[in-house]
Chain A
Amino acid sequence: MATQHSRSAARIMIAPAVILLLGWMLVPLVMTLYFSFKKYLPLRGGDLGWVGFENYSRFVTSSSFWPSIATTLTLVVSVLVITVVLGVLLALLLDRPMWGQGIVRILVIAPFFVMPTVSALIWKNMFMDPINGLLAHLWRAFGAEPIQWMSQASMPSIIIIVSWQWLPFATLILLTAIQSLDGEQLEASEMDGAPPVKRFWYIILPHLSRAITVVVLIQTIFLLAVFAEIFVTTGGAFGTKTLSYLIFQRVLESQNVGLGSAGGVYAIILANIVAMFLMRIVGKNLD
């Protein structure tokens, strides 16, 4: 009953949540904007006053800026492609009735529960270590020279690690989407003379387009902010410095809060541009 009384009661009830959310999002945003216009060097004099747009122009003119944007986009796009393609294939596989299905599904989901820092360390030390890593042993077993993953193939290494973490998410969402496909549609297309590959292309893939859109949008948000995986592996060296890592370096290594905040505002802009592009490309599926 939407009486005056119940409506004001409802407002009071949800007020804490609204206030919390507003504070949660608005306070950091406003602080970032505030600091981005200041010269603020915590260990070298603290707040040194307003500087207008100087931080912004310094951040973009730095020689690391454009490479960091390129690195960020490479990482995001590569991981998206890998997780979506492999996710669709894995989901198709998991949808088949097979022995030990429950256990296999849990195993597939498991990487998602491992913290980014931990999984990156495991990959770095147990798989990709050039002397003791499993991959090094594998290479040697074939008589090949082990790859120095972190230095010679730094970007591929990070892409592999991040993809490994996000593949379960993609697989899970795509699996539920596949399971929601009406079986009669597949049977109809089978009777219409479509062989398996065409059934996939004309029936299953269009059905998945919505789920793929969701996977791409959600992953993009998180992939733009990838940090721990880079921090514990290459530390931003060997061309793995993404925008978020660059901001981290400006704030903590150079102790320049103002410059880092300006970078943060650029990151917001980049995220919005990427989101807009994605919406354009795949968003028409979300009608």
Chain B
Amino acid sequence: MGRITLENVTKTFGDVTVIPPLNLTIEDGEFVVFVGPSGCGKSTLLRLIAGLEDVSGGQIRIDGEDATNLAPAKRKLAMVFQSYALYPHMTVRKNIAFPMKMAGIDQAEQDRRIEAAAKALNLTDYLERRPGQLSGGQRQRVAIGRAIVREPSAFLFDEPLSNLDAALRVGMRMEISELHKKLATTMVYVTHDQVEAMTMADKIVVLQAGVIEQVGSPLDLYRAPRNRFVAGFIGSPKMNFIEGAEAAKHDAQCIGIRPEHLTASASDGQWKGVVGVSEHLGSDTFLHVHDTGLAETMTVRVGGEFALHHGDTVYLTPEADKIHKFDAQGLRIE
């Protein structure tokens, strides 16, 4: 079980309010991802749930019980830190055993759980090594191993993959998702990488300056962002925003269209522009189009190979039903 409820939780450091009153429910077994720009309070929120910071107001409930003033160890949550926070003087085995040793679990059971975790995480050959003798990905797995042997009611991850290289990150992303499917335990995951958020989450929580901008499934957020901030934050490359006369045609202050919902043509189309930089990724090409009179630059996704070059004229056409409309407050207009 691991249902976490935050009710009017606030956090202030001195006279700086980092989290204004915030309400959120995390259902049992859910994979929830907190995303947001740097400094928006993601880590703070996670640490409040973990009990590493005291709340300034409000209530945190875990499985229905008030946990607001409970010590971190009593909350039955396990945390994986960005720096892994392994104990450098202990072997991998002792690192993984540490929480069980603290809980007074008997030796046979400890060994059983360590073997199981090591097998699941491919650590069997490294059990007698120290963290200093492991690669980044292996350290990450040890940190996860140390978390799972406690059999917690929820896992908390704070940017666990940010110290890994791109290829390893994709691999670990899959492993964590796999682990979630297998354990079916609640996971709360902090990241500022929206690709991680989109691929792993059951539910994404988009934060800005401590305020929840939107909560929903990855595709909900992609299809129907509640406001301009979420629209710009979710999706890569970023959504194109157009203001002024073109937006007024749609009875909106601002309209947004994603790069993948624009088609580019050399001969005809709705908007005319000049090709700037083009980024070739092999499978896709992203064109940055200037001088459209709509926005500074418009980004367009086109097929793998595209015949236009820097300085060529290009015509863009949006898919009419994929245009997002926003009002003067930046809120979505249906």
Q: Which residues of A contact B (CB under 8 A)?
A: 182, 184-185, 187-195, 198, 202-203, 206-207, 209
A-facing mask of B63-98, CB < 8 A → 1, else 0? 000000001110001110111011111100000001
Q: Which residues of B contact A207 (CB under 8 A)?
A: 88-89
Would you list 18 pairs from A and B whose C-beta atoms are within 8 A, ordered by A residue?
A184-B81, A187-B81, A187-B85, A188-B79, A188-B85, A188-B146, A189-B87, A189-B98, A190-B52, A191-B50, A192-B102, A192-B146, A194-B73, A194-B98, A198-B102, A202-B87, A202-B98, A209-B89
Indicate the member of A188, A195, A198, A209 with the most B CB atoms within 10 Å. A188
What is the distance, in angstroms, from A267's C-beta to the closest C-beta of chain B?
36
A192 touches B52 (CB 8 A): no
A191 near B79 with CB under 8 A, answer yes
**Contact in complex: B73, A182 (CB < 8 Å):** no
Prevailing SS type, chain B contact patch: loop
Beyond A187-B81, A206-B87, 16 additional pairs, beta carbon < 8 A: A182-B83, A184-B81, A187-B52, A188-B85, A188-B87, A189-B98, A190-B72, A190-B73, A191-B51, A191-B72, A192-B146, A193-B99, A193-B103, A194-B73, A198-B102, A209-B89
Please give, as numbers and ranges, the residues of chain A lying within 8 Å of B87 by CB-CB distance: 185, 188-189, 202-203, 206
Residue of A nearest to B79 (CB): A191
Partner of A192, one of B51, B83, B150: B150
B89 A206 Cβ-Cβ under 8 A: yes
Partner of B102, one of A182, A184, A194: A194
- Name the A residues within 8 Å of B150 (CB-CB): 192
Residues of A within 8 A of B90 (CB): 206
Contact status A192-B98, CB under 8 Å: yes
Residues in A with CB closer than 8 Å to B51 are 191
Cβ of B153 to closest chain A Cβ, rounded Å: 13
Q: Which residues of chain B have C-beta atoms less than 8 A from A185's C-beta? A: 85-87
**Known contacts A191-B77, A191-B78, A193-B73: does B98 contact A184 (CB below 8 Å)?**
no
Q: Is the CB of A192 within 8 A of B89?
A: no
Q: How far is the CA of A202 from the CA of B86 in the complex (A)?
A: 12
Q: Which of B71, B73, B85, B146 contacts A184 (CB 8 A)?
A: B85
Of chain A, the residue at the smallest CB distance from B89 is A206
Contacts of B88 in A (CB 8 A): 207
**B103 nearest CB neighbor, chain A only:** A193
Cβ contacts under 8 Å, A182 to chain B? 83, 85
Closest B residue, CB atoms, query A209: B89
Q: Are A192 and B73 closer than 8 Å at their CB atoms? A: yes
Q: Shortest distance in angstroms between A54's beta carbon and chain B's nearest beta carbon?
A: 52
Closest Cβ of chain A to B85, distance in Å, is 4
A190: chain B residues within 8 A (beta carbon): 52, 71-73
Find chain B residues with CB under 8 A from A194 CB: 73, 98, 102
| Chain B residues near A195 (CB-CB < 8 A) | 73
Closest Cβ–Cβ distance, residue B139 to chain A (whole Å): 13
Which B residues touch A206, using CB under 8 A? 87, 89-90
Q: Which residues of B contact A193 (CB under 8 A)?
A: 73, 99, 102-103
**Interchain CA distance A111-B294 in the complex, whole Å:** 73
B83: which of A184, A191, A198 is its contact (CB, 8 Å)?
A: A184
- Would you call A192 and B81 a contact (CB within 8 A)? no
A118 to B4, CA, bound (A): 64
The 6 closest A-B pairs by CB, nearest first: A188-B85, A192-B99, A193-B73, A184-B85, A193-B102, A206-B89
Query: Which of A191, A203, A209 is close to B73, meaning CB atoms less than 8 Å apart?
Result: A191
A161 to B237, CA, bound (A): 70
Question: Closest Cβ of chain A: how far from B104's Cβ, in Å?
Answer: 9
B residues 90-133 touching A (CB-CB < 8 Å)? 90, 98-99, 102-103
B131 to chain A, nearest CB (A): 11
CA distance A202 to B90 in the complex (A): 9
In the bound complex, CA of A191 to CA of B71 (Å): 8
B2 → chain A closest CB, angstroms: 15
A206 → chain B, closest Cβ, in Å? 4
Q: Which of B187-207 contact A (CB under 8 A)?
A: none
Which of A184, A187, A193, A198 counts the most chain B CB atoms within 10 A? A193
Contacts of B79 in A (CB 8 A): 187-188, 191
Please give, as numbers and ranges, the residues of chain B lying within 8 Å of A184 by CB-CB distance.
81-83, 85
Measured CA separation A192–B103 after assembly (Å):
8
In the complex, A192 Cα to B274 Cα: how many Å?
58
Residue of B nearest to A187 (CB): B52
Closest A residue by C-beta to B156:
A191
Closest residue to B152 on the A side, CB-wise? Answer: A191
Residues of A near B102 (CB, < 8 A) are 192-194, 198
Instruction: Give bound CA distance, A118 to B22, whole Å.
Output: 63
Cβ contacts B27-70/A at 8 Å (1 or 0 each): 00000000000000000000000111000000000000000000
Q: How far is the CA of A226 from the CA of B60 in the complex (A)?
A: 60
- By a CB distance below 8 angstroms, the chain A residues around B98 are 189, 192, 194, 202
Q: Complex Cα distance A206/B150, Å?
A: 23
Q: Which residues of A contact B86 (CB under 8 A)?
A: 185
Q: How far apart are B87's CB and chain A's nearest CB, in angstroms?
A: 6
In the complex the two chains form, what is the Cα distance from A147 to B67 in whole Å? Answer: 57
Measured CA separation A191–B103 after assembly (Å): 11
CB B146 to nearest CB in A, in angstroms, measures 7
- Nearest Cβ distance between residue B149 and chain A, in whole angstroms? 10
Chain A residues contacting B89 (CB-CB under 8 Å) are 206-207, 209
Q: Which of A182, A198, A207 has the most CB of B within 10 A?
A: A182
